[in-house]
């Protein structure tokens, strides 16, 4: 039997790219921003697994396990961030997956600290540069190790 367990070992002596699962959690159908982020992360040398629209916490947890992901990026534009993101944090804890969650999208400034307090690693708002987005993901992964 072949062992298909994902490995974090470098394939040819180089750095192992970060693996980031991107998803739209809940009923939000706005996906232009997350597609831009997918390209930014890919261009920054990360492996991107884009799950698409209308994902559930269970589908994201399953993808994180199957893909051996290092981080999760959730795009929020429907004002569900104060419920959906903390629920995602709880689901990851229950699955014993210490993977940081980075939320991007439309999040009022007053909601950022409560989300961080709930366990979200970072919140990225509109206008962040490609360099900032990639650095925030790398920093979140480094902080979770």
Tell me what pLDDT residue 16 has.
87
How far apart (Å, rounded) are the C-alpha atoms in residues 97 and 5?
Answer: 16
Output the pTM of the full model: 0.85
Q: Which fold has domain 19-144?
A: Rossmann fold (3.40.50)
What are 35's two structure tokens? 């597609």
β-pairing, 122-124 vs 101-105, is parallel
Which pLDDT does position 14 carry in this prediction? 52
pLDDT of residue 90: 96
Residues of the chain with pLDDT under 50: 1-13
pLDDT digits (tens, 9 = 90+) for 24-45: 887 777 788 899 999 999 999 9
Pick from 39, 42, 54: which is nearest to 18 by CA? 42
Q: How confident is the model at residue 2, as a pLDDT?
A: 30
């Amino acid at each position: 039997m072949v062992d298909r367990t994902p490995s974090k070992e470098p394939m040819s002596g180089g750095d192992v790219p970060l693996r980031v699962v991107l998803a739209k959690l809940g009923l939000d159908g706005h996906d232009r921003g997350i597609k831009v982020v997918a390209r930014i992360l890919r261009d920054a040398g990360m492996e991107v697994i884009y799950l698409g629209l209308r994902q559930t916490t269970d589908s994201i947890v399953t993808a994180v396990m199957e893909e051996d992901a290092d981080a999760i990026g959730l795009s929020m534009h429907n004002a569900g961030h104060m419920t959906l993101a903390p629920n995602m944090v709880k689901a990851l804890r229950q699955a014993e997956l210490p993977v940081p969650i980075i939320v991007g999208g439309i999040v009022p400034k007053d909601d950022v600290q409560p989300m961080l307090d709930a366990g979200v690693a970072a919140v990225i708002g509109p206008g962040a540069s490609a360099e900032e987005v990639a650095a925030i993901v790398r920093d979140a992964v480094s902080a979770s190790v």
